[in-house]
Amino acid sequence: MRRTAMTFGPLGLLLVLLSACAPAGQQQVTVQQLTKPVSYYPHQTGAHWEYLPDGARLTDPRLVSDVEGPTVLDGQVWIAWHIQGRGLDVTRYRQYRDDGVYLGRENKLGTVINFDPPIHEFPAAADMRVGATWSGDTKVDVVATDGSAKSASKSLNVHYVYTVVDQRKVTMAAGSFDVYVVSFTTRTLDANANVTNQLTQQFWFTPYVGEVRDENGNVLIASNVLKPAPDAGSGGGGS
């Protein structure tokens, strides 16, 4: 995963375009209740991940991602993810289908972002391999909910392409992982289908673990799908 977030996700270009839509939030206490076996694309309620930029100290503030669980949006069941810390406070809504993972909505403070159709963030588990590629088009509706002029509503047409470019073993603070390196490109289009913005980024995904490096360079420090979190007070990095 990561897309979406998927925000969480998730799409890096959209975060750049929409970063001014909402203020940063404060970290809050969350209840972790992971009791079910983790799936290929982890999304069990209570799953928890912590990230830091590559090279940061373990005592630095962390980006935290939590699966809050199923919720109903527009009559459909979606899985809510909450990402907070390091200037972010985002809730992403995903569906896990036979043909992969889809991101349908992001909620930020004062802003709701809808993807129609939902963004296809990951393929079916059987299709995850080096050379796999998938793509799509979506209309991104940004709806202001706080009434401020700084977060005015708008719509964007976006084309995206994902490609699995490599598979390798990496070692970081959380441990050693066999990762799929996924490159994705997002293109924003005008009314005449001309590209107005383009961005290519990468993230690393490990089955049954999740994203061990996101598209912004944050690497996995701890997760309850792995083992207890490293002691932040001990400092240092590595495994």
> What band does 145 get if pLDDT is binned at 50, 70 and 90?
confident
Beta-bridged to residue 123, according to DSSP, are 100
Q: What is the pLDDT of residues 228-237, one digit of tens each?
A: 445 544 443 3
> What band does 166 get if pLDDT is binned at 50, 70 and 90?
very high
> What band does 171 get if pLDDT is binned at 50, 70 and 90?
very high
Residue 128 pLDDT greater than 50, yes or no:
yes
Chain centre distance of CA 153: 23
- Using CA atoms, how far apart are residues 3 and 90, in angstroms rounded to an integer? 13
Residue 51 has a pLDDT of 97
- Using CA atoms, how far apart are residues 99 and 127, in angstroms rounded to an integer? 9
The residue ranges of every structural domain in the chain are 12-234
Phi and psi for 214 in degrees, rounded to 5? -90, 180
Q: What is the pLDDT of residues 50-71, one digit of tens each?
A: 999 998 999 999 999 999 999 9
CA R_g for the chain? 17
Residue 76 pLDDT greater than 90, yes or no:
yes
Query: What is the rounded average pLDDT of the residues 101-123?
Result: 95
Q: Look up the CATH architecture of domain 12-234.
A: Beta Barrel (2.40)
Query: What is the rounded average pLDDT of the residues 39-43?
Result: 96
> What band does 147 get if pLDDT is binned at 50, 70 and 90?
low
With beta carbons less than 8 A apart as the criterion, state whether 158 and 152 touch.
Answer: no
Residue 73 has a pLDDT of 92
> What band does 153 get if pLDDT is binned at 50, 70 and 90?
confident
Amino acid at 97: R
> What band does 110 get if pLDDT is binned at 50, 70 and 90?
confident
| Burial grade of 210 (CB within 10 A; 0-12, 13-18, 19 or more) | buried
Of residues 228 and 153, the one with the higher pLDDT is 153
- As a whole number, the mean pLDDT across the chain is 84
- Using CA atoms, how far apart are residues 215 and 234, in angstroms rounded to an integer? 27
Distances (CA, A) of 7 to 29, 121, 164, 214: 19, 11, 20, 11
Residue 6 has a pLDDT of 38
Residue 34 pLDDT greater than 60, yes or no:
yes
Model-wide pTM > 0.85: no
